[in-house]
């Protein structure tokens, strides 16, 4: 029987690594073994294809290429130029965007590029024009001081962390909460849904320069047309962070008001979640913002990662293939099946269900546990998840009261609705057999017989949907 090309590639690569540092080769093998042994329900993770993974392991990594294609600070960048142009070309075609910048190393970097592009266009540029100079270096000290103060005195309105926003949307420990005068919108306490009238009223009072849409843990689909109307009314720039749901946009599951690209001036994303690419970030924008976004380096980035841009190009090419739309649809069908399965077994879900790729299970309300206890107990039962705050969470972000579950990874493996029902049963069975240890919010006991039974069921399910079949390293 022919040996699959990826088997040869991965095994050879590990042999080469092992000659220098065998413990690293071992850790890479062990990671594959544990990814194969556990049900991955982390909403922000996926399994990239061998082509995406292999595009990263090569000499493109060695090249410095600060700047943009055709305009670099280093000689000899013509192949990196090709890579970056191909990736950006796929991104603009896939998402229907006017411009794409594929250099950000991660989602947080993409958001930083976006924030500073908005500040550069809306604060710095008019200031330089008024001062009659072309470049910040030409400002005399007093004016430079004035500009720096103005840049640091702008407002941003984003979704709060407990409502499902991300820490880069204005959480104080993150730079976004420090560089902006920041305020958050939440969700309706009864329904858990975004209340657009409340967001509009908040925006009218607060008058932000930047309105941020997008989420990490909101199980519904925001209406970006409405958010753009709010932004326009108060003179804000709408920035949508689609890190979580980029795959659903790429697969045309989210269209019209639910597609951020036609509505937001700037859209940021990660490439490694539902989009199923390499770990990285990307910024899409209108033509008006292109020159500012392209200043990501030196604004907040150093040299790009050409090998990762190559892998982004491969992943975006995959997302442009016809099969990707079916994958994206199936992610949502599976999330709904998982939510239904949990609800039928008496679980409590934030917003009562899902319309996207994720479900937030309220384990405090349903099982008397903290998110931290539930996360650890589920891991023992063979299911990898992450704890998450629920709206107005009494347990805070660390212990939390929820568990976030997502279907992009298991959908990549080919799991379907019947599998989701089985998983809902495994999860509720494990959580019912878990009890808090005294008053601790971290410790718990889980009946070992139940845990072993759950692990067996997870193993059986995974045996039917192997990860990287044919690859034995």
Contact positions vs ligand PLP (CB under 6 A): 44, 106-108, 111, 166, 168, 214, 216, 241, 243-244, 270, 281
**Residue 166, CA atoms < 13 Å, CB-side half-sphere:** 21
Nearest CB to ligand PLP, comparing residues 166 and 455 = 166
The residue annotated as part of the active site, out of 241, 330, 340, 362, is 241
Nearest CB to ligand PLP, comparing residues 40 and 455 = 40
The residue annotated as part of the active site, out of 6, 36, 64, 329, is 64
Nearest CB to ligand PLP, comparing residues 306 and 406 = 406
- 273 catalytic? Reply is yes
- 434 catalytic? Reply is no
Q: Which two tokens stand for residue 371?
A: 């998110």
Nearest CB to ligand PLP, comparing residues 267 and 374 = 267
The CB-of-242 to ligand PLP minimum distance in angstroms stands at: 8
The residue annotated as part of the active site, out of 268, 269, 270, 412, is 270
The CB-nearest residue to ligand PLP is 107
Nearest CB to ligand PLP, comparing residues 68 and 271 = 271
In angstroms and rounded to an integer, the radius of gyration of the C-alpha atoms of the chain is 23
The residue annotated as part of the active site, out of 29, 150, 279, 295, is 279
The CB-of-273 to ligand PLP minimum distance in angstroms stands at: 7
Dihedral-angle region of residue 170 (phi above 0 means left; psi in -120 to 50 means alpha; beta otherwise):
left
The residue annotated as part of the active site, out of 228, 273, 387, 404, is 273
- 66 catalytic? Reply is yes
The CB-of-217 to ligand PLP minimum distance in angstroms stands at: 8
The CB-of-284 to ligand PLP minimum distance in angstroms stands at: 14
Nearest CB to ligand PLP, comparing residues 165 and 382 = 165
Q: Is 92 buried (19+), middle (13-18) or exposed (0-12) by CB count in 10 A?
A: middle
In a 3-state reduction of DSSP, which class is residue 448?
helix
Q: Quick one: how many helices (H) and strands (E) in the chain? A: 21, 16
- 64 catalytic? Reply is yes
The CB-of-459 to ligand PLP minimum distance in angstroms stands at: 28
Instruction: With CA atoms as reference, report the closest residue to 79 among 365, 307, 260, 302.
Output: 307
Say if residues 31 and 53 touch (Cβ distance below 8 Å): no
- 270 catalytic? Reply is yes
353-356: which pairs have CB atoms within 8 A and are 24 or more residues apart? Answer: 353/219, 354/219, 354/220, 355/219, 355/220, 355/221, 356/219, 356/220, 356/221, 356/244, 356/245, 356/248, 356/332
Residues 6+ apart with CB under 8 A from 386: 42, 43, 375, 403, 404
What φ, ψ does residue 322 adopt, rounded to 5°?
-55, -35
The CB-of-283 to ligand PLP minimum distance in angstroms stands at: 12
- 71 catalytic? Reply is no
Residues tagged active-site: 64, 66, 241, 270, 273, 279
């Amino acid at each position: 029987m022919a040996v699959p090309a990826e088997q040869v590639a991965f095994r050879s690569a590990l042999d080469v690594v092992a000659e220098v540092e065998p413990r690293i080769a071992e850790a890479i093998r062990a990671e594959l073994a544990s990814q194969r042994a556990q049900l991955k329900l982390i909403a922000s993770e996926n399994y990239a294809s061998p082509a995406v993974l292999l595009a990263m392991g090569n000499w493109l990594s060695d090249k410095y290429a600060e700047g943009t294609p055709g305009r670099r600070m280093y000689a000899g960048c013509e192949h990196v130029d090709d890579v970056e142009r191909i990736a950006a070309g796929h991104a603009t075609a896939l998402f229907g965007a006017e411009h794409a910048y594929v250099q950000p190393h991660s989602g947080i970097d993409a958001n930083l590029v976006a924030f500073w592009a908005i500040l550069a266009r809306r604060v710095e540029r008019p200031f330089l024009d008024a001062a009659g100079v072309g470049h910040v270096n030409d400002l005399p000290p007093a004016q430079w001081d004035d500009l720096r103060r103005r840049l640091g005195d702008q407002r941003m309105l984003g979704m709060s962390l407990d409502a499902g926003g991300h820490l880069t949307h204005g959480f104080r420990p993150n730079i976004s909460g420090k560089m902006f005068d920041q305020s958050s919108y939440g969700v309706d306490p009864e329904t858990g849904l975004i209340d657009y009238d409340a967001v509009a009223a908040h925006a009218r009072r607060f008058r932000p320069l930047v309105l941020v849409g997008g989420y990490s843990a909101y199980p519904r689909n925001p209406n970006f047309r409405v958010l753009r109307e709010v932004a326009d009314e108060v003179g804000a720039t709408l920035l949508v962070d689609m890190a979580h749901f980029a795959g659903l946009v790429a697969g045309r599951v989210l269209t019209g008001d639910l597609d951020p690209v036609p509505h937001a001036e700037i859209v940021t994303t990660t490439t490694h979640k539902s989009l199923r690419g390499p770990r990285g970030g990307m910024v899409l924008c209108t033509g008006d913002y292109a020159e500012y976004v392209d200043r990501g380096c030196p604004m907040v980035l150093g040299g790009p990662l050409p090998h990762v841009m190559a892998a982004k190009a491969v992943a975006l090419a995959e997302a442009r293939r016809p099969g990707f739309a079916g994958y994206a649809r199936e992610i949502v069908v599976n999330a709904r099946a998982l939510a239904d399965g949990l609800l039928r077994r008496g679980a409590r879900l934030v917003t009562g269900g899902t319309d996207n790729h994720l479900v937030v299970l309220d384990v405090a309300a349903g099982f008397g546990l903290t998110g931290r206890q539930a996360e650890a107990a589920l891991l023992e039962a063979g299911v990898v998840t992450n704890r998450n705050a629920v709206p107005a969470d009494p347990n805070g972000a660390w212990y939390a009261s929820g568990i976030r579950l997502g279907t992009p990874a298991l959908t990549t493996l080919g799991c379907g609705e019947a599998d989701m029902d089985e998983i809902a049963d495994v999860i509720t069975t494990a959580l019912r057999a878990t009890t808090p240890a005294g008053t601790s919010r971290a410790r718990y006991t889980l009946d070992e017989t139940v845990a072993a039974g759950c692990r067996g069921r997870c193993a059986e399910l995974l045996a039917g949907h192997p990860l990287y079949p044919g690859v034995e390293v």
